[in-house]
Every structure is written in C-alpha cells, then in structure tokens.
Structure 1
Amino acid sequence: MINRRAFNQATGLGMGAAAVSLAGFQASAQAVSPGHHGAGGNPTPTVPTVPPGTHTSFARLKQVRAGVLDVGYAEDGPAHGPVVICLHGWPYDIHSYVDVVPLLAAQGYRVIVPFLRGHGTTRFLSSRTVRNAQQSAVALDIIALMDALKIETALLAGFDWGSRTADIIAALWPERVTGLVSVSGYLITNIEAQKKPLAPAAEHTWWYQYYFATDRGRLAMEDKTDRHDLCRLVWDTVSPTWDFDDATFERTATAFENPDYAAVVIHNYRWRLGLADGERRYDRYEKQLATRPLINVPTITLDPERDPFTAPGNGASYRDRFTGKYDHRTLTGIGHNLPQEAPTAFAQAVIDVNHL
C-alpha cells in the first residue's frame, strides 16, 4: 500500500470509525433480522447479495436539458420514491452502478445515474460554453439536473469525481441532501495545497495527472486508440483484484467517445494542479471550497482497501470534516471502482445512511 499521508495533507482526504472486510460486512448485513431498527426506529432493510457483473444494462435511459447541458442518465425505481443520485468517476461511466441500481430500486428508491459532463450522451447545449471541468462547475451540473427533474432533495452517493461532486453539494447546499455515501471520504480539492509535492510513491500513482499536463497527454486523450488503452491501463492498475472481462470495460469505453471527453478530462486535471484557469462565474464557490467546509449531513464513508489512492489511518485524516451522523467502513480486497466491484456493500451503505 502506498503511503498517502503527505497526499492526505495536500488534498484533505481522511476517514472515521470501524473497519470491516467486504466479506464480513456482507455477512453482517445478511444477519440483520427484519426487526433490526436504525436510529429513527424504522427497520433497516438488508440488501440481497448480488455478484458483480450480474447486470449489464439499465432499465431506462433518458435525456433532459439541465443548466448548460443536455444530460443523459439512467433511471430506475418508483417515480415517487425517495431519490438517490449516484455519481461516477474517471475513467468510468454510469455502468459503475449497473448492479447497484436494481438493488436500490427494489427497496423503493428512485435511482438516477447521470453521465457527467463530457461523458456518454451528456452534451453541452452551446458550442460557445467553455469545456470546463473545475469541481464547482460539475457540482452545479447536478444541482441543475435536480432542478430540471423537480427533485428538491436527494441522497448522494459517489466515488472519485463523483465523491468530490457529492461532497461539494453536501457542503454548500446541505438543504438539498438527505444523506451522503462518499468513497474515499472528503475529496474537495484545495488548489493551494495541491502545489505542495507529495512523497515519490504517491506522485508515481498520479502519473496520468502529470501526463495530462503535457501536450503529449492531451494528444493521447484526443486519439481514440490511445485514449482507450490509457483508460484500460488505469482500470487495471487501480483495481488490482477486480477480475472484469473485456466486455465490461468496452461497455464503459463507449462513454469516452463523447466529442468533449478529452477537453473535459484534460481541463479537470490541469485545473487541479493550477495549470488551467477556471471561470469567474464559479469564483465564489471555489472561495468557499478553499476553506474546506464541514459536511453535516448524515454520511457513510467507504474505503476501498486495494485502491492505491486510499488514505492510511482508516479515515482518521478526514474524520473532522464530517460533523453529522457518521459511519466509516473499509472494504478489504476492493479497488478504486468500488460500486462495480462491491455493489452489495455499496447499496447497503446507501440504505444504512438513510437510517443513521
């Protein structure tokens, strides 16, 4: 495991309480009887165990105009059920939740999984809109989506870019968030802190971030074959125990053919390093995020133990950022793409955070 202590200090990562293995967590979930009650006195449902890869497609795919985008998204579950919005990361897409969605829908949740800007069928409405992927812009996309779908509040769950986006919304617009499931904890980016060098092993893990800072990296992302192979390499290295097949990767890789994919990805990583400007319209949000705002909505943080980006200390380095009802779990043997590698444990966390 890479020593991430310096990385945690630079980015504000961290976590909290009891660690459990994936097998142990799933076994304990199965042992919960119908009479088990959460803090609110209501029974806490148990999610049935579903092997990863059980599902390959979604019940419904839709489009809606929201903010500066025409957003593509998957939806399942009853139309008037409590809403869960699941947010993917890079280099992934909505298929990270292909096994999670039916589990939650079966529990009565209305589940929405949008393609983030630059991914899949999500498109910018205007050619004049800056292909900007700074953190507050992506978060405001989700607020705009909620508004377009007339969703007042939702439970947010995500990993990678999705965790960061969910964290930001929970921090800046807590009145819109009923609960939060955040893989890797507190991921709000601090640009000034990012300027500090990390330990060499940690820097090595972020090789693609620095590659994207060069013209060579930009050209690789703009080339279909190079982009495909680079993303596959990232999958292989950050999920070392996940035995996925070629078809699983290819289903997601179609999302990388979005005409704005390269521009959005390159801008995201260059902006994080302070190498690309954001837009002035987002300055007030970034100033708020630079203060590392607290998150007070009910939260469960999940640590994938085999993810090279997972912070040491079992969540201690970001525990102080979460001031509401809270639980933390470490999933042994699981890599970066946690929802797709461990869908039952992820879905159970969503159910459980609603009963903290």
Structure 2
Amino acid sequence: MINRRTFTKAVGMGVGATAVSVGVGAGTASASASAVSSASAAEAGRGGPHRPSVKPAIPLIAPGTHTAFPALKQVRAGVLDVGYAELGPKHGPVVICLHGWPYDIHSFVDVAPLLADAGYRVIVPYLRGHGSTTFLSGSTFRNGQQSAVAVDIIALMDALKIRQAVLAGFDWGSRTADIVAALWPERVKALVSVSGYLITNVEAQKTPLPPKAEQVWWYQYYFATDRGKVAMQTKQNRNDLCRLVWDDVSPTWAFDDATYNRTAAAFDNPDYAAIVIHNYRWRLGLADGERRYDALEAKLAARPTIGVPTITIDPDRDPFLASTDGTAYRKFFTGKYEHRVLTGIGHNTPQEAPSTFAQAVVDADWM
C-alpha cells in the first residue's frame, strides 16, 4: 500500500497551496452535468484531443451506481500484455486511472463513466500481476518494485500512442503516477494523487515508526515471512486477508460481498502473489530489484520534485495518514497545486467518493 514514510528505452525495455475540506454527502459535487465537448478548428486539424469548450461539472452519483466496465481490451506494452478498460471519445483528452493494492480497476468503475460523459478518453489498466495483465515471457522476473510499475505505464502510453495524459491514482496507483510525473513530466498534463507524495525511499524505510503507526502495516511484515507468502498463494487465505484490509482501511464504506468479489477475481492472476510479495519485501529492503532499474531508482532516492499541476487528496478516515493537512509532502510539489481533504472517506477513495474524485481530475486538468 502507500509509502509508510508519510523508457521503456530508458531501462533497455523494447504556486500557493490551497487546502479545501470536502464533504461527500449530498451537494458535494454539482448535480448539473455540462459535458458538451467541442474542439477548436485548429486543434482538430492537428489531430489533438478535443477539449471541452467549458469546464465540465461532474454530477453527484451514489457509489456503486455502476458495477461493470465494457468489454476489456488487451495491448502488448513493454514486458506485458496489458488488460485495460477504455471509455469515452477516442479523441478526447486522456485520463489514466491507476489502482492500488488490494484493489483492481473496479475502484474506478463509477469514476470512469463520469469522466467519459464529461468528454474524456479514460484508460483504466490492470497493474502487473492483476486481472488480465500478464507477462509476455515466462522467464521475466516477477518484479513489483516501484520503477518497474511506472515504466509499465510509460510503455502502455507508447503502445496506445498517448503522448500526454492526466494521471490519477491512489495507493500503488498514486506512487506510480507520482513517479511518472517526476521522471517523465512531459508525459503528464496534470496529476491527482491520493495521499500525496508516495515515492518510496528504501533507506528511509529502515527507520522504525512509532509502534501505533507500525501496527497499521501488519500485513507487510506478514508478507516478509514464508507464512505470509503461502497465504497469498492460497486463494481462500488471500481473499480473506484482502477482505480484512478493505474492512480496516475503509471503516465507513458499506460495500457488499458482490462488490468485493468483483475485485477479488483480479487476484486470481497467476503472478499476483509473486508481484505483491516482491513489492512489499523490496520496499523494506528485504528483496533485490532488477539492475535495469538502478538508474531510475537512484533518481527516485533523491526525492525528485513534481512540477506538473497537481491536486492531492487526503481522505480523513484512512488509517495510514498521520494527518490530513498535506504539509508533510507539500514541498515536493512545485507547480500549480491544491490540497483537498475528504471527510468520512477511507483509503479506496475513488470507489468510495467517485463524483468527488472525478471532479478533482477535471479540476486538475483545468489548473
């Protein structure tokens, strides 16, 4: 999950801050939809994305209004055959939504159609080891380190011929989006990052947190053991563990069994356990990464700043957050910036507060 502290070719692989407290009850987002899209003649002539003539207002919907995506697509990108959902107009401005652990693309099952209706082309990929995303070669190391996942997104953008996109994510998805924005800013038009700056510093991870804070991270220490590895390889144990995490980190979200089961199907990927276990062991310095990513990891260890327009979001019921004011990571965002606090919302922010999250994407795009 989130950093506990607080291209393809590159690796040889073929402002003032404003803090806004946002409630998520009735009236949080505008109930009026204004998503009439029109491109200027010059922009259309260049074949660029069709930008709405007015800023869209996302309507308020109840979480769980949508339960499924249209038929998924597959594309070969880097070392992967990536499964992804795509919604919205082909020539709309692109938004890439990135999920975390233990979640999947259904975290955006309400967000994606809201953005599509607002005129955006929305791409929601399964991260490596999840759902229908598979490795092209059985011999490729099942690597969960942060730079490898970020390179996957650059490879996906290249494969889909996407020059630039708004990136929006939470958990692993926030970390991945942060890295892409830091290392390849020319590919990122704007950023929405739940929990702010999550780029991992492995050396810093070696310093203990206060015991109460460490308690929240029980599963990453479990994954450091063979016992935890076997649990992730065993379907019933895996599903029970992930369900427990959902309950713990989203204490106000009244999701049902069907909602959880739709996501848990993505955990049946044959590489799921290997990717998850390696990710958490790598973060704690207990597993090596691949040498091909060393140069990227060296850049990330230096804590690079992010200069693209950014909205950070802290949900106030997320137990991983020591505070929700964003001050701990504000210094890492050097461009146009806004911070928002979501009251009554837990860790799976886009699925718990889809209209609010989607509006943040629109607002970041228009910064």
The TM-score bracket by the shorter chain reads over 0.9
Post-superposition offset of 1:45:
1.8
- Does 2:315 match 1:314? no
Deviations 1:256-286 (A, max 9, x none): 0000000000000000000000000000000
Contact 2:90 2:121 in 1 (8 A): yes
Deviations 1:21-57 (A, max 9, x none): 3237x736428997xxxxxx97432100010000000
The equivalent of 2:30 in structure 1 is 30
- Counterparts of 2:18 and 2:337, CA distance in 1: 8
Structure with more contact order per residue of length (Cα contacts < 8 Å, sep ≥ 6): 1
- Out of 212, 232, 236, the residue aligned to residue 225 of structure 1 is 236
- Out of 80, 84, 95, the residue aligned to residue 84 of structure 1 is 95
- Does 2:215 match 1:214? no
The equivalent of 2:69 in structure 1 is 58
The equivalent of 2:351 in structure 1 is 340
Post-superposition offset of 1:160:
0.1
Structure 2: 5+ residue stretches without partners: 7-15, 35-51
Partner of 2:168: helix, strand, or coil?
Answer: strand
- Counterparts of 2:146 and 2:351, CA distance in 1: 23
Task: Please tell me the residue identity of whatever aligns with 1:278.
Answer: G
The equivalent of 1:247 in structure 2 is 258
The equivalent of 2:138 in structure 1 is 127
Task: Please tell me the residue identity of whatever aligns with 1:289.
Answer: L
Stretches (4+) displaced over 4 A: 31-34
Contact 1:184 1:311 in 2 (8 A): no
Question: What TM-score, normalized to structure 2?
Answer: 0.90
- Counterparts of 1:132 and 1:163, CA distance in 2: 18
**Percent sequence identity over matched residues?**
71
Contact 2:94 2:120 in 1 (8 A): yes
- Does 2:363 match 1:352? yes
Partner of 1:52: helix, strand, or coil?
Answer: coil
- Counterparts of 1:101 and 1:303, CA distance in 2: 20
Contact 2:315 2:324 in 1 (8 A): no
Contact 2:195 2:314 in 1 (8 A): yes
The equivalent of 1:293 in structure 2 is 304
Post-superposition offset of 1:312:
1.1
Instruction: Return closer, same or farther for 1:48/1:271 CA change in 2, 3 Å cut-off.
Output: same
Structure 1: 5+ residue stretches without partners: 1-6, 35-40
- Out of 201, 204, 208, the residue aligned to residue 190 of structure 1 is 201
Aligned residue pair count: 341
Partner of 1:181: helix, strand, or coil?
Answer: strand
Contact 1:77 1:106 in 2 (8 A): yes
The alignment's C-alpha RMSD in Å is 2.0
The equivalent of 1:19 in structure 2 is 20
